[in-house]
Each structure stands twice: as structure tokens, then as C-alpha cells.
Chain A
Amino acid sequence: MLKYIKQLTSLVAVIAVLFAFTTESMAAKKSKTLKNTIKKGFVRCGVSQGLPGFSNADASGNWTGVDVDVCRAVAAAVLGDASKVKFTPLSAKERFTALIAGEIDILSRNTTWTLSRDADIGLTFVGVNFYDGQGFMVRKSSGITSTSDFKSGLSACVNIGTTTELNMRDFFTANGITYEPVVFEKADEVVAAYDSGRCDTYTTDKSGLAAQRTKLSNPDDHIVLPETISKEPLGPVVRQGDAVWEDIVRWSLNIMIEAEEYGINSSNADAMKTSENPQIKRLVGAEGELGAALGLDNDWSLRIIKQVGNYGESYKRNISDTGILPDRGPNELWTKGGILYVPPAR
């Protein structure tokens, strides 16, 4: 019975949202993706096949992670309900094709923003939700404590279709080290092969190393080397050619970061409506017409903050509290010594 009531209420919610959007704004008319999303009633989001902290499904199929939260934020903004997301797990190889072919509308899958990807293949990166860098993991017993201990003849396990493969080559070539790349299609096989001793080192983004280390048979026997060999700004991607949708995704992410900057979180968001600070009032929709510019109602940002939380909450919930990375590192706000700095929402 309770289940039916739940279903009924969510149905009512969807219908209410649908009605709210029957009066389409100019922006909504222009954006095919926005129109389709409203018609379908869910945001189609491409995620990883399971990377703890970023996008990972639990036993009952609930997705969590900082990448997942970007899609949830868009769902909250556009459809009014952060749970109205259909997640499609994608391999590194499939991800761009799925987005370009229109099977998903947002790709939020620890994807590195590079010039060639942005310019070449019909994609647009909308921002950065995690500043990462590539590192190496080795066995503690190997006695290697820094990448300067690497010698020619090493074998390195790596995942296919990533910038990792290229960075690895740049790094080894620059240091005059010959190496054997062992390239797998799925992350689980990379971990298994490294664990068995096929490779001397495992290289990927440092956040990924931290997350995958938990899957090894004896996590404590392995260390991540201190060096970072590349810049890996990870962020959500949309198809080229839908400027309105691009803006919605970009600003859904930016709102989460700026909300943290102004101290607005999921529990105090409603109270902040009566704040003295006009920027805070703008962020919770109590002042200005920010939503209208994106073709949304004015409570869009409030819904994001209330249903998903600000960036700091999302980070803490998914990355710090799960023990993947204890501190924020570069992903701290610019006001607190990090490099998270987003354009103002006004």
C-alpha cells in the first residue's frame, strides 16, 4: 500500500512538473535536448562501470558519486526531482560514441578535458568537477618510493582508451625508460592483472588509484607514488550544438560549487532565502531571474542545493567519508587554498 502511495505521489510530482513546463520559455523552445528531457521525464546520464567515489552502483542499483551528483543536479533543476535520472554505465571506449549518437545527454564519467576531445569529435566540455592527475601505484616491497626509481624493462598495467595511455608514453619517453604497456578493456581486469604480478606498476588518475586500491587483495601492500605526471581536469560533457542544454549542465555544476562558497547547504537552503546577502538570495532564487535565462523556473538552484547539496557535501559524502581520499587537495575552494573557482552566478 505504502509503495503505491509513493508511486502515486511521484507520479503526481511528475505531472505537476510537466504542467509547470507547458508554458515553454524561449530557451526551452530552442533546446531540443531540454524539450526531449522534459518529455521523457528523466535525464539520460552516462557514467562509469563502477568507480567508487565517482560513479558506483550499490547492490540495489542506487548510483552514488560526485559524477552522479552532477546528473542529479541537472535532474533537480530541469525536472524538479534529483532521482529522475537514467544511468547508463559506459566503458571508456563507448562513452563518446554513446553521447554523440544521442543515447545519453550528459556524459559524467571521470572524463579528462583535452583540446582534441573538445574540438575534434562533436563534444563540449562544460566544466571541471574534479581536478585530478595521473600517478603510479607500486608494491611497497619493491622498494620504489618515487618515479625516479623506475628502470627500463618495467611493465605497466593500464586501462584502454584513456589519456592515461598517452601520458604514460610521454612520461617514460621523456625519462628515457623503455616499458611494456599491458592494456585492458575493463578496470577490473587491470586490477586483477596488477594484483597477480603481471605488471610492476598500475597507472591511472590518482583518484582512480585510490579507489581501485581498495579492490586489491592486500591494499596495505601497495603505495601510490607522490609524483603526478599529468593534469587531468575531469568534468561533464555534452553534445556540441545545443547551447542551452550546455548552459544548464554548466551552471547546475557551478551552482553546487558557488553554494559551498557562500555557505549554503542542503539543510540551511530554505532559511537562506531571508539572508541579507543579495548573492545568497540570488543563489536560492529569492532574488533575480537566473532561472529564466536558462529556460527554467526560479527555484531551480534551490532544488539543486536542497536535493543534491553543495559541492562540499557531495565530496564529503562520496569521497572523504568513503575513505577514498581523506582531504580535498586541489579540489578545495579557491578561498581555502584550492583551485575550485567558478564564474559568479548573477
Chain B
Amino acid sequence: MNLGITTFLDKRPKIKKYFPQIITLLFIIFIFGYFTYNARVNMDTRGIDFGLRFLGEEASFDISFTPFVEYDGTKPYAKAYLVGLVNTLIVAAIGIFFATILGVIIGISRLSSNYLISKISEWYIEIFRNIPLLLQLFFWYFAALRALPLPKEAINFFDIAYLSIKGLYVPRFVWTNGSVFLFSIVAAIVAIFFVFKYTRIQQEKSGRRIPAFLISLGIIIVLPLLTFLIGGVSLTFEHPELKQLSKTIYNYIGGVAIIPELMALAAALSLYTATFIAECVRAGIMGVTKGQKEAAASIGLTPGQILRLVVMPQALRIIIPPTTNQYLNLTKNSSLAAAIAYPDLVLVFAGTAMMQTGRAIEIISITMLTYLSISIAISILMNWYNKKIAIKEK
């Protein structure tokens, strides 16, 4: 029998070449099929059905923080999913933004010749990266709750924003024809893109420098401004107002509330991930040979210019790939939100929605797929950027 297969394969080298791969593939299909079948049988015997129809049913629970998505309990579960997704993206975006800025600053300071600055950076990195993120999250959240005043004694920022234990209340922008304004900004960005392209072509052709930056600034200010004058766009502000709800309970009504959960989560994620990014930055800078810096210094560049024009462009190639990992980690870590009541995807969808519907398999699968998609999107974006700045061998 065994002999039969070997002679069969020997006669057909093409099949023989792919034989191990075919076996592996079949094995994977078998394993996957086995578990799917098992899950189906088990669910059948326990009287659970499988389906996504529940997504259209009324969610009938409320969510505290629903920017950009119009939501209340009468909306379907699919809408609740969207709220969770948007909230996850918001905190990930804020976290990545601040972690990157802080990480770069700390990473550069770590290499500073100033003893105090480099030591402070080193201590910061060692402390923040060695404490579990969940503990830091609780620390920032409950520290914030203890430190912030009640709404009645809120910290007042020029009568525009108010910071209290219930969050940072800022005025809400009330737009008329807001979409026209939005389109004008998109148009301005596209226009700026072409201005820069044109500038570069001109410079390469004739060496003439066009003040692209000033022109861009003009475009991004003038174009949206025009929409106010002739596009019928107008903007008013809805200010948060302090209302008394009972003898001692006060709260701000109106405006937009940036809830303390979001602030704590964003702070914890940024401060934690910044340490890892700082180390990536340090590695990148140290990876640029000393000769490069000395050569740059010898032609009279200032230390700032050396960093900006010579070291950083080369260091970025080393920095980007590990930093991508940190962005992915930050995004995934944002799912710790559930511990401190920030209504992200896990709390809203894999939490409340799963409990109310009891559809664990469906909801966990959707949630996993969502995180996978977000992570892959970040990877693709960062790989694109990495390719763009890579050494172009000619």
C-alpha cells in the first residue's frame, strides 16, 4: 500500500512537489471542519441556534458616550456595535497620537547629553513600562475621580470649558449646512496635495522655490471661510450650563462631555505605550552610524538640523516596524476599557449586547474579526509608510 503511493508519486513529480502542502492543507481543513461540526452539534443539543438576525433587534440599553453616531436604546444592536467600534477607534487614535509625540520626545531626551534630562527619561521609561497596564488604568481613573472637583466647583477654563468629576464639558458646534464646510476642507486638502506636487516638480525642473507652505495655509483658511460667506454655512455654539438637579447634585447640561473614562484610558494607554515607542526611537537613532553625525557636523549643521535632516530620516527606517507593533498593541490594549466603564467595543458589544442576547459565539467572532480588521488596516498603513521612506536603491 505504502509502496503504491511512493511509486505513484515518483511517476508524477509535479504532484510529488506539492504533496506535503496538500496534506497540510487537508489537515487544516479537517481540524477546522471538526471543530465547526462539533460546535454545531453541541449547540444543537443544548438548544442554541446560530445566526446574525439579532443584529436587527432593538438593543434597549443606553450608552453614555456616543459621539458621531446617533444612538439611543430604540436603535438596533448593529447600531450599538457601531457606537462601540467608533469609541474604540477614538481612544486608539488619541492614544496613538499622544504616545507617538511623547515617545519621540522621551526617546530623544534619553540620548540627551544633559544628565538630568536623560536620567528623567530613563526613569520614566523604567517605571511606566514595568507596571501592568491594568493597574495604571485603575490608578489614573480613580486618581482622576479623587482629584477632580464636583460639577458645582468645576475648574473653569475661561467660561468655555469646565472640568469636573463628570468629565470635561466643552461647547457643542451647531452647524447649519455643515457638510458644505466639510467638503470645503476635503477640497482644500486635495488642493494642497497638488500644490506640493507642483512645487516639487518646479523645483526639480528649474530650482525655483515656490512658498508652498504659505500657499497651503492660505488655501486651508480661505476655502472654508468662503463657505461661510457664500455657501450658507453658519456656526453657533451650544454652551454647557450648570443646572441644579437636587439639593447637592449639580451637573452641566448641553455641550459635549468628554467623559473621565476616556481621559483616563487615553492617558494610561499613551503613557504606557510611549515608553516602548521611546525605546524604538532610541534604537533607531543609535542605529545611525556616528560617522553620519560627524560628517553632518563637519559641514556646519546645527545639532537640531543634524537630528532633523540627517539622523531622523535614516533612523525612521529602523523605528517604523517596531513602532507599528506598538500601535497594534495600543489598539488591542484599549479593550481594557471595560474595566473602567469606557463604552468601547468590548464593553458595549462583547459585554452588554452579548449578555442581553446570549449569542456568545456570534458576538465574540464579530468582535475578533473587527479587531483583526483594525490591526490589519494599521499594519497596511504603516507598511506603506515604511516602504515610502525606505532607501530607494537605484
Q: At the interface with chain B, which of A89-97, A281-289, A332-340? A: A89-97
A93-B339 in contact (CB<8A): no
A160-B352 in contact (CB<8A): yes
CA A96 – CA B249 in complex, angstroms?
38
- A residues adjacent to B (C-beta < 8 A): 92-93, 96-97, 100, 117, 120-122, 139, 141-144, 149-155, 160-162, 165-166, 168-170, 173, 179-186, 189, 192-193, 196-198, 200, 239-241
Of A160, A196, A197, which is within 8 A of B355 by CB?
Answer: A160
A155-B251 in contact (CB<8A): yes
B contact residues, total (Cβ < 8 Å): 43
- B residues adjacent to A (C-beta < 8 A): 45-48, 60-64, 73, 142, 145-146, 150, 165-166, 243, 245-249, 251-253, 257, 260-261, 338-341, 343, 347, 351-352, 354-360
User: What are 16 A-B interface contacts by the 8 Å CB criterion?
Assistant: A120-B358, A121-B48, A122-B48, A151-B243, A153-B253, A154-B249, A154-B251, A161-B352, A182-B64, A183-B343, A185-B351, A189-B341, A196-B142, A196-B145, A200-B245, A239-B46
CA A192 – CA B145 in complex, angstroms?
10
* Least distance between A161 CB and chain B CB atoms (Å): 3
Of B245, B247, B355, B358, which is within 8 A of A154 by CB?
Answer: B245
Q: A96-B358, A196-B142 are in contact. List 15 more A-B contacts (CB 8 A).
A: A92-B355, A93-B351, A121-B358, A122-B46, A122-B47, A142-B246, A150-B245, A161-B354, A161-B356, A166-B60, A181-B61, A183-B343, A189-B339, A196-B165, A200-B249
- A-B pairs, top 5 by smallest CB distance, nearest first, are A143-B247, A121-B358, A161-B355, A196-B145, A122-B46
CA A196 – CA B341 in complex, angstroms?
14
* Least distance between B378 CB and chain A CB atoms (Å): 26
Specify which chain B residues have a CB less than 8 angstroms from the CB of A100 in the assembled complex: 46, 48
CA A142 – CA B151 in complex, angstroms?
14
Specify which chain A residues have a CB less than 8 angstroms from the CB of B45 in the assembled complex: 241
Which of A153, A154, A179, A186 is the most central at the interface, judged by chain B CB atoms within 10 Å of its CB? A153
Specify which chain A residues have a CB less than 8 angstroms from the CB of B248 in the assembled complex: 139, 141-143
Specify which chain A residues have a CB less than 8 angstroms from the CB of B249 in the assembled complex: 142, 144, 154, 200
CA A184 – CA B46 in complex, angstroms?
30
B146-A161 in contact (CB<8A): no
B166-A183 in contact (CB<8A): no
* Least distance between A226 CB and chain B CB atoms (Å): 16
* Least distance between A60 CB and chain B CB atoms (Å): 27
**Given that A160-B352, A161-B352, A196-B145 are known contacts, is A143 also in contact with B48, CB under 8 Å in the complex?**
no
A183-B352 in contact (CB<8A): yes
CA A144 – CA B246 in complex, angstroms?
7
A117-B165 in contact (CB<8A): no
**Given that A166-B60, A169-B73, A185-B347 are known contacts, is A153 also in contact with B355, CB under 8 Å in the complex?**
no
CA A99 – CA B112 in complex, angstroms?
58
Specify which chain A residues have a CB less than 8 angstroms from the CB of B358 in the assembled complex: 96, 117, 120-121
B247-A155 in contact (CB<8A): no
B150-A197 in contact (CB<8A): yes
CA A150 – CA B356 in complex, angstroms?
26
Which of B47, B253, B261, B359 is the most central at the interface, judged by chain A CB atoms within 10 Å of its CB? B47
B246-A151 in contact (CB<8A): yes
B355-A183 in contact (CB<8A): no
Chain A residue nearest to B257 (CB atoms) is A180
* Least distance between B375 CB and chain A CB atoms (Å): 23
* Least distance between A346 CB and chain B CB atoms (Å): 31
* Least distance between A201 CB and chain B CB atoms (Å): 9
B360-A183 in contact (CB<8A): no
CA A122 – CA B166 in complex, angstroms?
40
Specify which chain A residues have a CB less than 8 angstroms from the CB of B165 in the assembled complex: 196-198
* Least distance between A57 CB and chain B CB atoms (Å): 21
